[in-house]
């Protein structure tokens, strides 16, 4: 079974969203990036998956792996 991947990325309104790859609607939205990263980390750890953190420009800034 494939592990879940969550992505933290900026939104059009200047906030940050935590999305599960393959889904269109976000798991959560936040005003601050650090809050979104904490939420994404929590979800990725529970799923033993991956967290991708994107910069405002859209490029991947960091990847974190929480699997076995």
Q: Tell me if 45 is assigned to some domain.
A: yes
Q: Tell me if 20 is assigned to some domain.
A: no
Q: Are strands 16-20 and 5-10 parallel, antiparallel or unpaired?
A: antiparallel
Q: Tell me if 22 is assigned to some domain.
A: no
Residue 22: the pLDDT is: 92
Q: Tell me if 3 is assigned to some domain.
A: yes
The pLDDT of 24-51, averaged and rounded, is 97
Residue 67: the pLDDT is: 82
Q: Tell me if 1 is assigned to some domain.
A: yes
User: With 70 as the cut, is the pLDDT of residue 4 above it?
Assistant: yes
Q: How many domains is the chain built from?
A: 1
Q: Which domain holds residue 47?
A: 1-12+27-68
Q: Tell me if 7 is assigned to some domain.
A: yes
Listed in sequence order, the residues at least 6 apart from 47 whose beta carbon sits closer than 8 Å to its beta carbon are 3, 4, 6, 66
């Amino acid at each position: 079974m494939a592990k879940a991947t969550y992505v933290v990325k900026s939104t059009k309104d200047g906030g940050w969203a935590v999305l599960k790859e393959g889904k269109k609607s976000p798991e959560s939205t936040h005003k601050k990036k650090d809050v979104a990263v904490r939420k994404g980390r929590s979800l990725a750890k529970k799923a033993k998956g991956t967290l991708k953190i994107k910069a405002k420009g859209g490029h991947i800034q960091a990847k974190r792996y929480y699997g076995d």
